[in-house]
Amino acid sequence: MAGVNTQADTMTITSFGPNEAGAAAAFFTTLADFSVSRADLHLATSSNHLSLTAQCGSLGRETTALEGHLRDAMAPFGHEVSVAPSYAVALIGAKITAADITAAQGAVKGKTLRMRRIELESLCAVELTVILEDAAAARRDLRQVANERDIDICLESLANRRQRLVCFDCDSTLIEGEVIEMLAAHAGKEEEVAAVTERAMRGELDFAESLRERVAVLEGLDASIIDEVARDIELSPGAKKAISTLRRLGHRTAVVSGGFIQVLEGLAKDLQLDYVRANTLEIRDGKLTGKVTGQIVDRQAKEDLLREFAADSGIAMESTVAVGDGANDIAMVTAAGLGIAFDAKPALREVADACITSRRLDAVLPMVGIAGD
């Protein structure tokens, strides 16, 4: 499964014990001996105890050596030392209670370093910064907590908290509804097309074949219907907020769609998306021919396009995010550094790193560590 990088290159080094003179100096001196950056250090004291924390990049083979030297250096002060990967756990819902946080902490079975609350327009989110050894087990247990407490939970490595490429599916993710069904409504073929669409999204049909079957229903429609449908498109709640916030903070945004580029071009321009790719309806003499031209954007094409956009942006795949709702998004979602299922079909929920059940697309923001404002 994609998402949490179980060999994260962001490590948290902690030392906890009695507040003895010289303990902090011994800790920092040992870090300096291993050329550990002091860019992110935390020190907390009470009358009796001292807590020292440092976050740094991967030490590779030096990790074991550093941990051993730190244990030796801090043992005279009665300190316990750990060096472990750092992760963020985002809890998202209409409200997040103390019981929700306690349940998540229990599932993680690690040490919670920090907690912050993120307020969104119609959602509440709490982010925990934790250290843990077994990300796969933590994700499994957090999924159970999310189901039991009716909230959304996302676990990801802090190593991925850098410039992101966030790639959205379009139909029933970025926008409400399915464009092909909107077009079919004008041909009086809604039920026929809807039945094929549902079977395709469940993975029961090859997408390319089902697309051709649905598009064939549109044969003879006046091409002006494309503009009419484009004007009627409604964004999913929170979509505009999510994309504008991502862009404002310097992240790249993309849409890959099994729908049609002629319908999406205006929307992509309005949202200032960095990349957009979809199928192309064939038009002759101002009429739809009932065919598509060029490469079909199917399950594999979506993954390939995600990789293409990431390479073009200079962004590692570990820092990509993919958001979708159907079986056609499985390859893209599992290939991404963080794969998110948005009000999704069971097949996608099973393989995604996190799920959004609120149908608000701005829930993506706290999942990648961003406040809504």
- Can you spell out the DSSP letters for 145-201? HHHHHT-EEEEEEGGG-SS-EEEE-TBTTTBSS-HHHHHHHTTT-HHHHHHHHHHHH
Asked whether residue 29 is domain-assigned, the answer is: yes
pLDDT score for 205: 77
Q: Which domain holds residue 276?
A: 166-367
pLDDT score for 5: 33
Same domain, 216 and 284: yes
Same domain, 52 and 181: no
Same domain, 201 and 101: no
Asked whether residue 99 is domain-assigned, the answer is: yes
Residue 178 is which amino acid? E
Number of Cβ atoms within 10 Å of the Cβ of 206: 12
The length of the chain, given as a count of residues: 373
Asked whether residue 161 is domain-assigned, the answer is: no
**Contact assessment for residue 337 and residue 367, using Cβ atoms and an 8 Å cutoff:** no
Same domain, 75 and 199: no
Question: Taking the chain, what is the end-to-end CA distance rounded to the nearest angstrom?
Answer: 31
Name, of 12-16, 165-169, 261-265, the range with top average pLDDT. Answer: 165-169
Which of residues 122, 156, 190 is at a domain's end?
156
The catalytic residue positions are 169, 171
Asked whether residue 11 is domain-assigned, the answer is: yes
Same domain, 316 and 185: yes
pLDDT tens-digit series, residues 44-86? 777 688 888 887 776 667 888 888 999 999 999 999 888 888 8
Which of residues 102, 136, 156 is at a domain's end?
156
Total number of domains constituting the chain: 2
pLDDT tier at 92, thresholds 50, 70, 90: very high
Q: Which stretches of the chain are assigned E, i.e. beta strand?
A: 10-18, 41-45, 49-57, 80-93, 111-119, 124-131, 152-157, 165-168, 252-260, 275-284, 287-293, 320-324, 338-342, 354-356
pLDDT score for 6: 35
Same domain, 172 and 152: no
Same domain, 139 and 212: no
Question: Does position 269 have pLDDT exceeding 70, yes or no?
Answer: yes
- Of the two residues 163 and 322, the one the predictor is more confident about is 322
Same domain, 283 and 361: yes
Asked whether residue 373 is domain-assigned, the answer is: no
Q: What is the CATH number of the domain that holds 332?
A: 3.40.50.1000
What pairs with residue 50 in β-bridges? 17, 45
Which of residues 121, 156, 191 is at a domain's end?
156
Same domain, 174 and 93: no
Asked whether residue 94 is domain-assigned, the answer is: yes
pLDDT tens-digit series, residues 188-215? 888 888 788 777 667 677 888 889 989 9
In DSSP notation, 52-64 reads: EEEEEE--TTHHH
Per-chain mean pLDDT for the chain: 89
Same domain, 31 and 85: yes
Same domain, 147 and 216: no
Asked whether residue 332 is domain-assigned, the answer is: yes
Q: What is the CATH number of the domain that holds 25?
A: 3.30.70.260
Question: Does position 372 have pLDDT exceeding 70, yes or no?
Answer: no
Asked whether residue 9 is domain-assigned, the answer is: yes
pTM of the entire predicted model = 0.82
Same domain, 271 and 134: no
Segment (H or E) for 291: strand 287-293
- Both tokens assigned to 144: 């159970």
pLDDT tens-digit series, residues 299-330? 999 999 999 999 999 999 999 999 999 888 99
Question: Does position 347 have pLDDT exceeding 50, yes or no?
Answer: yes
pLDDT tier at 249, thresholds 50, 70, 90: very high
